[in-house]
Amino acid sequence: MSRNIIEVNDLTKKYDELVAVDSISFDVKEGEIFSLVGPNGAGKTTTVEILECLRKPTSGNARVLGHDVKNEDEKIKKKIGVMPQDFNTFERLTAEENIKLMGDLYGSDNVKEIMRKVGVDKFKNKKFDDLSGGMKTKVGIGMTLISNADLLFLDEPTTGLDPHARRETWNLIKDLKKMGKTVFLTTHYMEEVEYLSDRAGILINGKIEVIDSIENLIEEHGGGIKVKVLEDGEAVDIINDRADEVLRGEDTWTGIFDNKKEARQALIKLFQLDAKVEVEEAGMDEVFLRLTGGKIDEGGELV
């Protein structure tokens, strides 16, 4: 088992009467991509910024890299890389100059290597202001890497990006993991959480609804694996005999299997019959819907 890089216990943050973060507890393991997913106003940034020592908790405690966020903030700040939400930087400086500036701050001279790693070298001489959203994100991630931190916080790194730039950013975040970094990510995109994270917590109104590996979340809250049989005959018997629930369509029979093992066994039988089947495994969208009764739209609103 990897060691805990972050430990959060009963953390609460109030802004006057508003409870933005409501007694949350979780751990982040070394080397994993951990995500907090939730709609606008859920408390993601507040949580992240407490861990980055930019805001003080009202109560509870959190340790980052073994240090207490309340009184060891200088130690923590030196060891983390941070990309804030709506990240921006010196607009008139070039991509390279921005990364170099951060490098100077940390006494680090591996600007070239970082630019190559995050794919900034192709546009390094462009002014930040003239870059696309995806390019800006690469510069931002480059700036988090320059301090050589092993723990990176990325607060909604892909919000507002077009699908292509979002994919590129996902690949880059996977590369960060391969480099051995621990990544703390926030997002409101379910497919992003599912694609990137090892473990994730769903945050709503300052509370963590569930937290687990993506696989376990889907297994426990996804509503099962759907196997749809498209023709009458023996195949239907297999579905009726083995599935936990059967839904009748016009010419279809959909078996819902609560666990993978059962589904797999039924599928083997169906394939032996050469039956026409469609398999649909739930995703994080389904998990979110089942837990909250709603979904998060493209703009991050709970609907």
Ligand X SMILES: Nc1ncnc2c1ncn2[C@@H]1O[C@H](COP(=O)(O)OP(=O)(O)OP(=O)(O)O)[C@@H](O)[C@H]1O
> What tokens were used for 290?
């089942």
Site for ligand X in 220-239 (CB under 6 A): none
* Cα separation values, 220 from 37, 223, 232, 247, Å: 17, 7, 31, 20
Q: Confirm or reject binding of residue 41 to ligand X (CB under 6 A).
A: yes
Q: Residue 20: which of ligand X, Mg ion, none does it interact with, CB under 5 to 8 A by kind?
A: ligand X
Helices (H), the chain: 44-51, 73-79, 95-106, 111-118, 133-145, 163-178, 190-196, 214-221, 234-242, 260-273, 284-292
Q: Confirm or reject binding of residue 12 to ligand X (CB under 6 A).
A: no
Question: What is the C-alpha radius of gyration for the chain, rounded to an integer number of angstroms?
Answer: 23
Nearest to ligand X of 169, 187 (CB atom): 187
Site for ligand X in 19-38 (CB under 6 A): 20, 38
Residue among 301, 229, 218 at smallest CA distance from 269: 229
Q: Residue 131: which of ligand X, Mg ion, none does it interact with, CB under 5 to 8 A by kind?
A: none
Binding mask 75-114 for ligand X (x = CB under 6 A): ----------x-----------------------------
Residues 6+ apart with CB under 8 A from 290: 221, 222, 223
Which backbone phi and psi does 168 adopt, to 5 degrees?
Answer: -60, -40
Coil vs helix vs strand at 261:
helix
Site for ligand X in 170-189 (CB under 6 A): 188
Contact (Cβ atoms closer than 8 angstroms) between residue 153 and residue 83: yes
Nearest to ligand X of 50, 270 (CB atom): 50
Contact (Cβ atoms closer than 8 angstroms) between residue 171 and residue 141: no
Q: Confirm or reject binding of residue 158 to Mg ion (CB under 5 A).
A: no
3-state DSSP percent of the chain in helix, strand and coil, to 5: 40, 30, 30
Binding mask 187-206 for ligand X (x = CB under 6 A): -x------------------
Q: Confirm or reject binding of residue 45 to Mg ion (CB under 5 A).
A: yes
Total residues belonging to the chain = 303
Among 26, 32, 34, 44, the residue binding ligand X under the rule CB under 6 A is 44
Nearest to ligand X of 246, 291 (CB atom): 291
Nearest to Mg ion of 44, 226 (CB atom): 44
**Closest separation between CB of residue 76 and ligand X, Å?**
19
> What tokens were used for 65?
């890299």
Q: Confirm or reject binding of residue 85 to Mg ion (CB under 5 A).
A: yes
Which backbone phi and psi does 185 adopt, to 5 degrees?
Answer: -120, 145
**Closest separation between CB of residue 203 and ligand X, Å?**
7
Contact (Cβ atoms closer than 8 angstroms) between residue 199 and residue 213: yes
**Closest separation between CB of residue 1 and ligand X, Å?**
29
**Closest separation between CB of residue 45 and Mg ion, Å?**
3
Nearest to Mg ion of 155, 168 (CB atom): 155
Q: Residue 142: which of ligand X, Mg ion, none does it interact with, CB under 5 to 8 A by kind?
A: none
Nearest to ligand X of 18, 105 (CB atom): 18
| Binding footprint of Mg ion on the chain (CB under 5 A) | 44-45, 85
| Binding footprint of ligand X on the chain (CB under 6 A) | 15, 18, 20, 38, 40-46, 85, 188, 300
